[in-house]
Amino acid sequence: MAEVILDHVWKSYGGNIWAVKDFNLTIKDREFMVFVGPSGCGKSTTLRMIAGLEEISKGSISIAERVVNNVPPKDRDIAMVFQNYALYPHMTVYDNMAFGLKLRNYKRADIESRVREASDILGLADYLHRKPKALSGGQRQRVAVGRAIVRKPKVFLFDEPLSNLDAKMRVQMRAEISKLHVRLEATMIYVTHDQVEAMTMGDRIVVMKDGVVLQVATPLDLYENPANLFVAGFIGTPPMNLFEGLIRRGADGWIFDGASMQVALLPEMQAKLEAYVDKQVVMGIRPEHVGSPIAENTADAPKIKAHVDVVEPMGAETYLYMTSGRHNFIAKIDPHRRCAMGSELQLAFLEAKAHFFDPATTNLIV
Ligand code: ADP
């Protein structure tokens, strides 16, 4: 069982400035856990504490039921893959993969079979005699992964491993690492600033900001139930639309009143918004839930009238960049709907999909 547990982990690089604040998490055996967040939020620091490359200021980390706070990296049964590959330029691919095993006095035959197995898995069998400079970026990254695989560690740690690759290679390697996770049945912890990478690879995702864990959830749960405004805006492309406005109790029922935009509230939302009547809230709605353009005379659906600023056909869908009064937002619509730039539109609005946030705490209300 290679469970990794972080228990009230803090990290300061000096003084009272905390790079990581009270990090608590249990990463299950064989789980693929992604740490995501903007640059400087403490992802790498946390990963490096798990690896033993940084000291833990407070709290404890255990790997496979053993507290490792004072265990050196080489004895933690982990292997780490770095963004810059960290290959030895003067060694062949074979020797780069074999090096760590030689240092640990593995038998020659064992080294050979492990390197062969890893190179078969990674499609490197034809490149074993080459030096890193004679490889593409993607192949170099595969060698770096191979060097981790040959060790057969309990836990793999990845620190932004795909950041130096071009967009196409990133997508390919993303899928390869996911397949590898299934094949090796290992616990993997993966750091990235890229929310698409996080969403596509993670069994669960930790969203961090300013050294703090904001939410831990599966990709779909993060997308559908963001716990606060930061997660709502960070996960999803294009991002969730956010509108400021007031909750009002009118004669015809409750509404979200965003000046130029009035949205009727479903009865089940009203109870949770009771404390916010006549107060400011932020309403969030995903571009795909802003709705399709509808005819002026459709009576039943809640509607927003808006001006089409920009039309972006993406093939499978079209993005409309819209303005309604003081609000700017994005709608994702069927690509076969014709919408002209500069036109006025009426959109149906899936109010059941709206989220409401408290602007003071930024936390989700309903
Ligand atoms: P991320 O991986 O999310 O980009 P890091 O974990 O690298 O973030 O950094 C978190 C914070 O700690 C940042 O404010 C960064 O400047 C600071 N930091 C990271 N490494 C060091 C270091 N060796 N010395 C001092 N501060 C550091």
- Give me ligand 1 centre to Cα 25, in Å: 20
Rounded Cα distance, 226 and 10, in Å: 25
CA quadruple 179, 48, 197, 226: dihedral sign: positive
- Give me ligand 1 centre to Cα 158, in Å: 16
Ligand 1 closest atom vs CA 14: 25
DSSP output for 42-92: SHHHHHHHHHTSS--SEEEEEETTEE-TTS-GGGSSEEEE-TT----TTS-
What pLDDT was estimated at residue 251?
A: 80
Ligand 1 closest atom vs CA 46: 6
> Is residue 192 in contact with ligand 1, taking CB distance under 6 Å?
no
pLDDT one-digit tens code per residue, 217-261: 999 999 999 999 999 999 999 999 999 999 999 887 899 998 888
What pLDDT was estimated at residue 63?
A: 97
> Is residue 40 in contact with ligand 1, taking CB distance under 6 Å?
yes
3-state secondary structure of 298: coil
User: Helical H runs in the chain?
Assistant: 43-51, 93-103, 108-122, 137-149, 167-184, 195-201, 219-224, 229-234, 267-273
Ligand 1 closest atom vs CA 160: 2
- Give me ligand 1 centre to Cα 211, in Å: 9
In the chain, the percentage of residues whose pLDDT exceeds 70 is 97
By residue count, the chain amounts to 366
pLDDT < 50 positions in the chain: none
The distance in angstroms from the start CA to the end CA of the chain is 38
Cβ partners under 8 Å of residue 264, min gap 6: 252, 253, 254, 255, 302, 351
CB 27 within 8 A of CB 40: no
Nearest residue by C-alpha to atom 16 in ligand 1:
40
Nearest residue by C-alpha to atom 24 in ligand 1:
13
- Give me ligand 1 centre to Cα 46, in Å: 10
pTM above 0.85, yes or no: yes
CB 173 within 8 A of CB 141: yes
What pLDDT was estimated at residue 262?
A: 84
